[in-house]
Amino acid sequence: MVCQECNERPATLHFTKVINGEKTEVHLCEQCAQDKGEMFMFDSSSGFSVNNLLAGLLNIAPAFKQAKETEIPKTEVLQCEKCKMTFQRFINVGRFGCAHCYETFKDELTPLLKRVHSGNVEHHGKVPERMGGAIHIKKKIQQLKSDLQTMIADEEFEKAAEIRDEIRSLEKDANKEGGDKG
Amino acid sequence: MSLEKFLQNAVSSWMNEEGPNSDIVLSSRVRLARNMTDFRFSTLYSSEEAKEIVDRVKDKLSLYPGNLGELEFLPTREIQPLQKRVLMEKHLISPNLAEDTNYGAVLLSSEEDISIMVNEEDHIRIQCLYPGLQLKEALQRANQIDDWFESEFDFAFDEKHGYLTTCPTNVGTGLRASVMMHLPGLVLTQQLNRIIPAINQLGLVVRGIYGEGSEALGNIFQISNQTTLGKSEEDIVEDLLSVVKQIIDKEHSARDALVKTSNIQLEDRIFRSLGVLEHSRIIESKEAAKCLSDVRLGIDLGYIKVISKNILNELMILTQPGFLQQYSGGPLRPNERDIRRSSLIRERIKLDKDTCEEEK
């Protein structure tokens, strides 16, 4: 199949565009795709990938598209102070510049994380031992509180009382830990 | 040179062990993505930063506890492109790291069941491989290695988002758990196309053997978790396990049904494929993969008794472009590869059959 743009080179990218419910088949060679700006989903080295789709996910905000076309004043550019990654660049590459970017872009990030992680935005997994003293206690308390609810629902009041005491003692520890740090 | 031993054999020694459900599950893999706090991510870091990350890992390596498996340090700039391709075909490095010409490195255990990539997309990627369905074991091992790293390095972590990764698709646990499954029954009975969308809805992905964007060669599929945020590591693995177990059941039923309803056609297909492998003189990788899949199914179903399943694991890897060229000691044109591939397959099958004869 020949590229529908240049009618010269063979078409190597084939995809279906859906705009307002209307489907269009697109067949392009790599060069024309790049010229037409269809390449936002493809990076030249590894081809189509899930990560490249992120750019697409972020790019759909119409307000953002407008901003892209008009010149944005320097002061309004959202930029990570640590690594100087701009939000614009993050959208283009779909990757952060440093750990601090998560903080810088946190408001914009939530809807993206929701999309990518089936509606989840918060970590519920492992916490590094040496940095997470207070976090560990907090997580443990959360877990115990949920256990407590189950015990009460099951009318196992003796066990519930034990858990309640454990929560109290942990909360004391947590306050102490916080106090030490402060 | 120490790299040689990783290149010589197609099959890593961990693969020689037979794991649970190994008639359908070839391997289980767990990967943890981690980044150090005081460096920019790979998107932006300078060569100096990249170099320092590698140096730090290398420096600490002498403290690495032996009970986790000795590790060999291999900087990617010292590995030839063809050698990188071989490591990639063995799943010891990613295509991404294979392309690296700068300051990447890989740490490999001698069994090749641990592979730690440095300066891939994330600063550190810990990968543990097990034969058969052993995801929990793989997670436990990866966690132990991670614990050691955490005792030596500060990893980027925040309470809300968990482990901070270069790409937002990995944030949270940084965990990618995956199993490689051989599903000829579901493919032949055309059930897989219906199963894949259901799997996707559960936050899992089905891919070809070399991960993203690759084709499912020889009915081998990789199933892995898509979401890394919101669930604990154990829950992610548990959810994947439960889906994989259901797929195993479905594959068994499909194989049973095939034997019942079209035994002679199935037998014909399997032995034709064996014939092609034993007698062809030119074979493309796609056809080889298809025939190897058929023969593997034939062994699992008891039709073929003179070839060991292991040789197929070996041939699946050995017949890929990188390995073929490594084996021949230099670059080969595609048609030369097809000839070389077929002669290699013939030799190996003959060797296996002869051994079987002798044992009798």
ipTM reported for the complex, 2 dp: 0.86
Reported as a pLDDT band with limits 50, 70 and 90, residue A8 is confident
Amino acid identity of residue B339, one-letter, is I
A1 near A10, Cβ under 8 Å? Answer: yes
A56 near A49, Cβ under 8 Å? Answer: no
Reported as a pLDDT band with limits 50, 70 and 90, residue A24 is low
DSSP state of B67: G
Name the residue among B40, B143, B213 with its Cβ closest to that of A98: B40
Alpha-carbon distances of B355 from B352, B358, B359, rounded to whole Å: 5, 5, 6
The residue ranges of DSSP E strands in B62-219, in sequence order, are 71-75, 105-109, 114-118, 124-131, 157-158, 162-163, 175-182, 204-207
B167 near B62, Cβ under 8 Å? Answer: no
Say which residue the tokens 């482990």 belong to.
B163
Residue contact B173–A103, C-beta within 8 A: no
Alpha helix locations (H) across B153-229? 184-188, 192-201
Residue B225: how many CB atoms within 10 A of its CB?
A: 21
More confident call, A67 vs B346:
B346
- Residue B193: partners with Cβ closer than 8 Å, 6 or more residues away: none
More confident call, A124 vs A10:
A124
Query: What pLDDT shows up at residue B137?
Result: 97
Q: Is A73 on the interface with B (CB under 8 A)?
A: no
Query: What pLDDT shows up at residue A132?
Result: 66
Q: Give pairs for B2-8: CB < 8 Å, separation 24+.
A: B2/B72, B2/B74, B3/B74, B3/B78, B3/B79, B3/B83, B5/B110, B6/B72, B6/B74, B6/B87, B6/B90, B6/B92, B6/B108, B6/B112, B7/B83, B7/B86, B7/B87, B7/B326
pLDDT, one tens digit for every residue, chain B (360 residues): 478 878 878 778 887 778 899 999 999 999 999 999 999 999 999 999 999 999 999 999 888 988 888 899 999 999 988 899 899 988 899 988 988 777 899 999 999 999 999 999 999 999 999 999 999 999 999 999 999 999 999 999 998 999 999 999 999 999 999 999 999 999 999 898 888 888 988 889 988 765 444 556 789 999 999 999 999 999 999 999 999 999 999 999 999 999 999 899 999 999 999 999 999 999 998 899 999 999 999 999 999 998 988 888 888 888 888 888 988 888 899 999 999 999 999 999 998 888 877 877
What is d(CA B313, CA B311) in angstroms, rounded to the nearest whole number?
Answer: 5
Amino acid identity of residue A72, one-letter, is I
Residue contact A125–B160, C-beta within 8 A: no
- Taking all residues of chain A, what is their mean pLDDT, rounded to a whole number? 73
Residue contact A85–B231, C-beta within 8 A: no
B197 near A149, Cβ under 8 Å? Answer: no
The answer to whether residue A43 scores a pLDDT higher than 60 is: no
Q: Is B162 on the interface with A (CB under 8 A)?
A: yes
B241 near B133, Cβ under 8 Å? Answer: yes
B152 near B60, Cβ under 8 Å? Answer: yes
Residue to mutate among A13, A15, A44, A98, with most B CBs inside 10 A, is: A98
Query: What pLDDT shows up at residue B216?
Result: 67
CA angle (B328 as vertex; B325, B333 as ends), nearest 5:
50
Query: What pLDDT shows up at residue B142?
Result: 97
What is d(CA A170, CA A140) in angstroms, rounded to the nearest whole number?
Answer: 8
Search chain A and give the residue with CA nearest B228. Answer: A117
What is d(CA B304, CA B283) in angstroms, rounded to the nearest whole number?
Answer: 21
Q: Is B215 on the interface with A (CB under 8 A)?
A: no
Please name the residues between 230 and 269 in chain B that touch chain A, using a CB distance below 8 Å: 230-233, 235-236
Q: Is A135 on the interface with B (CB under 8 A)?
A: yes
What is d(CA B304, CA B220) in angstroms, rounded to the nearest whole number?
Answer: 20
Helix (H, G, I), strand (E, B) or coil at B143: helix
The whole-model pTM stands at 0.80
HEC assignment per residue over A7-71: CCCECCEEEEEEECCEEEEEEECHHHHHHCCHHHHEECCCEECHHHHHHHHHHCCHHHHHHHHCC
Alpha-carbon distances of B320 from A67, B81, B83, B238, B275, rounded to whole Å: 48, 15, 13, 33, 20
What is d(CA A171, CA A149) in angstroms, rounded to the nearest whole number?
Answer: 17
CA-based Rg of chain B, rounded to a whole angstrom? 21
If you write DSSP's letter for every residue of B204-216 in order, what string do you get? Answer: EEEE-TTSTT---
Residue to mutate among B169, B173, B175, B237, with most A CBs inside 10 A, is: B169
Residue A23 pairs with which residues in a beta bridge?
A18
What is d(CA B247, CA B196) in angstroms, rounded to the nearest whole number?
Answer: 10
DSSP state of B155: B
B145 near B127, Cβ under 8 Å? Answer: no
Lowest mean pLDDT among A20-24, A104-108, B302-306: A20-24
B89 near B320, Cβ under 8 Å? Answer: yes
**What is the torsional sign of CA B166, B177, B71, B6?**
negative
What is d(CA B54, CA B61) in angstroms, rounded to the nearest whole number?
Answer: 11
Query: What pLDDT shows up at residue A17?
Result: 60
